[in-house]
Structure 1
């Protein structure tokens, strides 16, 4: 069930809010938690009962593992073995459901290259929604229990709520147990917080329907033309996708954080205007913050971080961004995208960062955006050859075929308007933005835009979330 569906907006959410308000009047936190778990199961099961059963089994297994880590606290070897088994189980489920077909295809390709016939069919029909997100949340819980940063949750309902809380279940942000642990015991729900949560949700909804979707239509059309053999059209498509992926993902985060606020939870922010960055290192401090910090705390630092010399630091960065690419999907394009970003991060560590700090702000920003945009083309392409062809068209500086009818039917005045608004939304406006966004007049204006967005939702058939497949 998507946040941008009529079922969610006009049926699920209103009924949920009404019942939750009634339950909240009893001041029984256990009843509120149980209700939200049941609601989250219904929400997730809407997309597939089999996936929901898998998630419940995963929660049960990790609940037991958490208790065992607590029980055998003084048995170092046994405790470490239990933790490793837990990690293997969680990563094993992720590999089986997300990467098995990809791995089988690699084995098949290798077999053909050495004249060995290999054929194997996978019986997994669909990827459970949000499996990458909830798997990382669960692993962070086990890791924090193992390192004694948190006390294992002995109430299965509360652990289930941590994993399944529906606003962040499918597309994050990747919430850690320690961040919302206190909310399971006592959380405040009041009119002001609910109102601001609804406003945050509405802002995300409007960004999704009016901006991300419009940029997506342009990007899909141009990428289907492989850039149109024209560098102007190719760049427009690349820029449209650059805007789409940021606004699409950040709009979902806005809606998730807003819904969390309504029910008394505070989720971590996931974006901080990444397109104003002046280096790739800064970009990753601003982009998908919860994923970046997850890899930093649970992979990079345990590997040694930057504490074991320059060479080891470069290796650790390479490993982290290889895994970052793999996390995003079972395709060589994601793997090369991760390696690509890791390469520039290593370059910046070696020498480039010092050069960028001395360079004019415009130069460092242009460098960063050029690297990011080319990376997004690789990320968006279906295959490496397609990515190479598209990137080549961006730098051939050909202007023939610029009047292709298929392109100009799409890139009309409406999309040019939304393109400009999308660019503005990627730039922090500081005090002006705060002044405009934090008063009742702007909220009333937002309600009008929300109604307009609902119209777009009803008349448009284009409504995917990019990160829904991860």
Structure 2
């Protein structure tokens, strides 16, 4: 079940909200936990067992960490934390990376592991990282132990962000899980944010995704230079509005239920360096790796050689987190190298450039990265990158490029404007009275427009579900 579906919008969500708000306060986490598990198991009920096991194991690990800390047994507490981390990572590796390793070994003539062909539990990369923060936060003293199993299960399975983020740290949500406030204004804000995210996904991402699919399906020898760039621009906008739209919907749903989630995107395409881009893109993932991997490795308070090593490890892991394919590792290392170059040498020079040149520099490198990210087959990837850099078999442009540019030009322009703070800035300039009048009307119009689109839509993927 996806948020941008008629089933979710007009059946699941209304039922959840009705039952949730009719329930007494002390029952609401239990009610929410049940609905969370229904949502998660909608497509693959078998994996509810895996989810329940994860909840129970991490809950038990938290109790052990708290007990050992109270007893002053630091080594035992660290062992409990390590055991919880190993268990979570082993589950993630088994389901997500086993076949990648088995297939790679077979390609090198080492047929030592069987290919299992297991379907990937939806959102496992997100909720695994989320649960792993619990024992670590307890050990560090950043959060108190959760002794209510239902409350802990609610944190792990919270359906607004369960399967595609943003990634929540336990310490950020611990107080809200136990007790939260409910205000009409908060609920209304949640509805508005949800509809904005729905519009990003349905009206922008879905439309541009079809343009990218058309170019990705072309044999590389038929690509043109401008066509290859048009395709990767379409993908970059599709991915942004798909994922940021989902994050907005998650934040909006959270507010409807009384939760406050941190934002996950901050107009990344206006960045003037790769360093800035990764402060604005998928903020919760960057924050997770910085706090739980990069800083424990020493961060940037180390020698230059160790700094380079730390960054390459973190970005290699960041790439592999995104998918069980070697192109994701290449994508992560690509950014690792760029960030090393900026941190050690380039940034001081980039800061002296004109703003326009800084933006062009960043967008160029980001667009190249999305080609690496999107094309998993290395043979096809080589051909696509060759086309982008002027070695296209189809020449500079062709009739297909002109047709697609004409057909999708307005959508591309609208998406480019929407990826900047321009519209938000214009909205803030309106008088408060005008905002209060226009906002409900705009939200209703947006919902009706998205619904009309979804009634006839056959193309409605969520890119980050596979992660």
1:210 corresponding residue in structure 2:
203
What's the CA shift for 1:217? 0.3
What's the CA shift for 1:411? 4.8
Question: Mapping of 1:7-406 within 5 angstroms?
Answer: 7-23=7-23, 26=24, 28=25, 30-73=26-69, 74-110=72-108, 112=109, 118=111, 120-226=113-219, 228-396=222-390, 400=395, 402-405=397-400
Structure 1 residues 409 and 455 mapped into 2: Cα distance closer, same or farther (>3 Å)?
Answer: farther
Would you say the 8 A contact 1:314–1:346 is kept in 2? Answer: yes
Secondary structure in 2 aligned to 1:146? helix
Structure 1 residues 124 and 143 mapped into 2: Cα distance closer, same or farther (>3 Å)?
Answer: farther
Question: Mapping of 1:386-465 within 5 angstroms?
Answer: 386-396=380-390, 400=395, 402-405=397-400, 411-413=405-407, 415-429=408-422, 431-435=425-429, 438-465=435-462
Would you say the 8 A contact 2:190–2:256 is kept in 1? Answer: yes
Deviation track 1:174-228 (CA, whole Å, cap 9, x = no partner) reads 0111112111232121221111101111111111111000110001111111564
Would you say the 8 A contact 2:127–2:163 is kept in 1? Answer: yes
What's the CA shift for 1:8? 0.6
Deviation track 1:336-380 (CA, whole Å, cap 9, x = no partner) reads 000000000000012100110011111111111111000000000
Would you say the 8 A contact 2:272–2:355 is kept in 1? Answer: yes
What's the CA shift for 1:22? 1.3
Deviation track 1:123-147 (CA, whole Å, cap 9, x = no partner) reads 3521000000000001111111121
Secondary structure in 2 aligned to 1:123? coil
What's the CA shift for 1:401? 8.0
Q: Which runs of 5+ in 1 are unaligned?
A: none
Structure 1 residues 52 and 410 mapped into 2: Cα distance closer, same or farther (>3 Å)?
Answer: farther
Calculate the TM-score normalised by the size of structure 1.
0.94
Query: Root-mean-square deviation (CA), in Å?
Result: 1.7
Give me the whole-angstrom Cα distance separating, in 2, the residues matched to 1:416 and 1:324. 33
Give me the whole-angstrom Cα distance separating, in 2, the residues matched to 1:123 and 1:315. 33
Would you say the 8 A contact 1:332–1:383 is kept in 2? Answer: no
Structure 1 residues 16 and 382 mapped into 2: Cα distance closer, same or farther (>3 Å)?
Answer: same
Bigger mean CA offset, 127-136 vs 444-453: 444-453
Give me the whole-angstrom Cα distance separating, in 2, the residues matched to 1:295 and 1:438. 38
Would you say the 8 A contact 1:226–1:390 is kept in 2? Answer: no
Give me the whole-angstrom Cα distance separating, in 2, the residues matched to 1:203 and 1:374. 28
Structure 1 residues 212 and 140 mapped into 2: Cα distance closer, same or farther (>3 Å)?
Answer: same
Secondary structure in 2 aligned to 1:49? coil
Calculate the TM-score normalised by the size of structure 2.
0.95
What's the CA shift for 1:382? 2.0
Secondary structure in 2 aligned to 1:88? helix
Aligned length: 459
Give me the whole-angstrom Cα distance separating, in 2, the residues matched to 1:348 and 1:334. 21
Give me the whole-angstrom Cα distance separating, in 2, the residues matched to 1:62 and 1:305. 27
Deviation track 1:263-315 (CA, whole Å, cap 9, x = no partner) reads 10001110000001111110100000000000000000000001112221111
Secondary structure in 1 aligned to 2:160? helix
Would you say the 8 A contact 1:218–1:411 is kept in 2? Answer: no
What's the CA shift for 1:404? 4.4
What's the CA shift for 1:81? 1.5
Give me the whole-angstrom Cα distance separating, in 1, the residues matched to 2:113 and 2:96. 16
Secondary structure in 1 aligned to 2:291? helix
What's the CA shift for 1:397? 6.7
Deviation track 1:41-84 (CA, whole Å, cap 9, x = no partner) reads 11111021111110110110010011011111111222222211
Bigger mean CA offset, 349-358 vs 447-456: 447-456
Would you say the 8 A contact 1:97–1:127 is kept in 2? Answer: yes
Would you say the 8 A contact 1:208–1:248 is kept in 2? Answer: yes
